[in-house]
Homo-oligomer: A and B are copies of this chain.
Amino acid sequence: MSNTWGKLFRITSFGESHGPGIGIVIDGCPAGITWDSAYIEKQLQRRKPGQNKLTTQRKEEDIPQVLSGIFEGKTTGTPITLWIPNENAKPQDYEHLKDVFRPSHADFTWWKKYAIRDFRGGGRASARVTAGWVAAGAVAELVLQTYTSIQIRAWVEQLGPIKLPPLDCIPSREVIDSSALRCPEAETSKQMEAFLQAIRKNGDTVGGVIYGCASGVPAGLGEPLFDKFSARLAQAMFSINAVKGFEIGMGFAGACRKGSEVNDIMSYEHGRFFTLSNYSGGIQGGITNGELIYFRVAFKPVATILKEQPGVDKEGKPVIIKGRGRHDPCVLPRAVPIIEAMTALVVTDFLLLDKARKGC
């Protein structure tokens, strides 16, 4: 139940970190979309491990195989299944964690839920499953590129205490990727890198904030009351591992603002309605208003640290836990394409719903 997401453009996720692989079924993709495997692989490359010395050294090619749904280079309207084999799984690295509950991991909670748990690298709770989401998000982008000029971007805005100042314009993915940390401003990126190197050397980890946005989204998307655009975007973001906060538009900063300061005054020119400011983040009453949709996602620090920490095992006996294996000191750079993917899925699903809402 819980491994399926979406109303009309639906994904079903399966697979574990150290099992045979990771998969995704995409159901509801319009027929006739030209298949662009290079595009999908490109987004997966942005998420894959081992990109540089600041990410985990697990080596995975993450080239998806098409198991169904594509025929003669086009989508057919039937379920598209992508399968990403696990190549560099090292389950033995996790044998020592078999009976142990690591701090701030899903070990204890999954065990309480299922009374059984694939402990190898987090099993199903691993962020490795998001590889399938990134692939699905890239397929959603193929749909968006076929029918619209919608553009989706995300980048690292904050890493630990270091914050990116406001940008003048939306950077391209190339610019974003020119930073190892996917922070599209050279000076800030450098500071973040230095900070992260220090954190890493110390065996520690750090959190941060990703800024995401979608431009070109038409007004009228979102389904009141419970499937507001903002509500489903929030849910999608909180599906991502380690996410602890989400805000749209002015977000938490709006708490100490006055209505007279942050009301987005409307105007009209050249046949188009628009707002003079965009404190709302492109969403009013839960529905898109045609302005830029922008939001922030807060990540907690990676729970696995290369330091000793006290813990307990299944019997409740005290143990000392120390991270081994291959871990990221900070998930944010690799989370950028995940956030883009979930955004693309939300937008695509709402676009399809909107067609139905316009009558038959």
Partner of A79, one of B8, B14, B354: B14
Q: Say whether B300 contacts A279, CB under 8 Å.
A: yes
Interface majority SS (helix, strand, loop, mixed), chain A: mixed
How far is the CB of A304 from the nearest CB of chain B, in Å? 7
Interface flags, A4-43, vs B, CB<8A=1, else 0: 1101101011111001110101011011100000000000
Number of copies: 4
Complex contacts, A169 vs chain B, CB 8 Å: none
Q: Say whether A3 contacts B225, CB under 8 Å.
A: yes
Complex contacts, A65 vs chain B, CB 8 Å: 20
Query: Contacts A23-B81, A225-B2, A301-B262; is A244 near B281 (CB within 8 Å)?
Result: yes
Interface flags, A49-71, vs B, CB<8A=1, else 0: 00000000000000001111101
Partner of A147, one of B4, B78, B360: B360
Q: Say whether B255 contacts A298, CB under 8 Å.
A: yes
Complex contacts, A243 vs chain B, CB 8 Å: 230
Complex contacts, A258 vs chain B, CB 8 Å: 160, 199, 204-206, 301
Partner of A118, one of B13, B19, B71, B273: B71
Query: Contacts A123-B71, A300-B250; is A305 near B360 (CB within 8 Å)?
Result: no
Query: Number of A interface residues, CB 8 Å?
Result: 160
Identity of the chain B residue whose Cβ is nearest the Cβ of A29 in the assembled complex: B359
Cα of A218 to Cα of B124 in the assembled complex, Å? 22
Identity of the chain B residue whose Cβ is nearest the Cβ of A4 in the assembled complex: B4
Cα of A256 to Cα of B301 in the assembled complex, Å? 8
Query: Contacts A204-B258, A248-B245, A268-B316; is A289 near B356 (CB within 8 Å)?
Result: no
Q: Is A92 an interface residue (CB 8 A)?
A: no
How far is the CB of A79 from the nearest CB of chain B, in Å? 4
How far is the CB of A327 from the nearest CB of chain B, in Å? 10
Complex contacts, A356 vs chain B, CB 8 Å: 8, 352-353, 355-356
Q: Is A166 an interface residue (CB 8 A)?
A: no
- Other than the known A13-B79, A238-B286, A255-B298, what 16 A-B pairs have Cβ atoms closer than 8 Å? A5-B225, A30-B359, A74-B116, A76-B123, A77-B357, A103-B264, A104-B280, A109-B284, A112-B219, A147-B360, A160-B255, A160-B258, A231-B239, A244-B249, A245-B251, A265-B311
